[in-house]
Amino acid sequence: MDKYRPAIKIDDPVGVMATFSEGNPGALRVLMELGRSRPSSITNVILDLDDMNIRGEQIWVAYKDFSKGDIDKFITSVTERNLEMINIINRECPDHKAVKSGYSDRSSDERNSNSN
């Protein structure tokens, strides 16, 4: 089921972290590590995550289960939009469907519907 997710405000770093972590401490940890280890990459990774509809628990699953805690593998998998990672996310986190691309281009009505 595709539930509504709020739009991001990229000019508010604290808001971006809060929005993307969705209250998941693991996701917040990944985003903070990304900011510490690759500050020049964080904006592009956030935009990729948004376009793929990946937030909260999905970020943690991608980092922990797919990337095995390797931030470089996580970044590469996100920027390359790795289909194996997307499949693992969708299997482990069925409430929000991760996609290869195009989620951020969808209208609010499309995001709120169950269509993918």
pLDDT of 39-60, one tens digit each? 888 889 999 999 999 999 999 9
User: Global pTM?
Assistant: 0.81
Question: Is 4 or 41 the better-scoring residue by pLDDT?
Answer: 41
Question: Is 95 or 12 the better-scoring residue by pLDDT?
Answer: 95
Q: Which of 75-79, 98-102, 105-109 has the lowest mean pLDDT?
A: 105-109
Q: Please, what is the Cα angle at 44 between 36 and 17, to 5 degrees? A: 55
pLDDT value for 105: 64
Query: Would you say residue 8 has pLDDT above 90?
Result: no
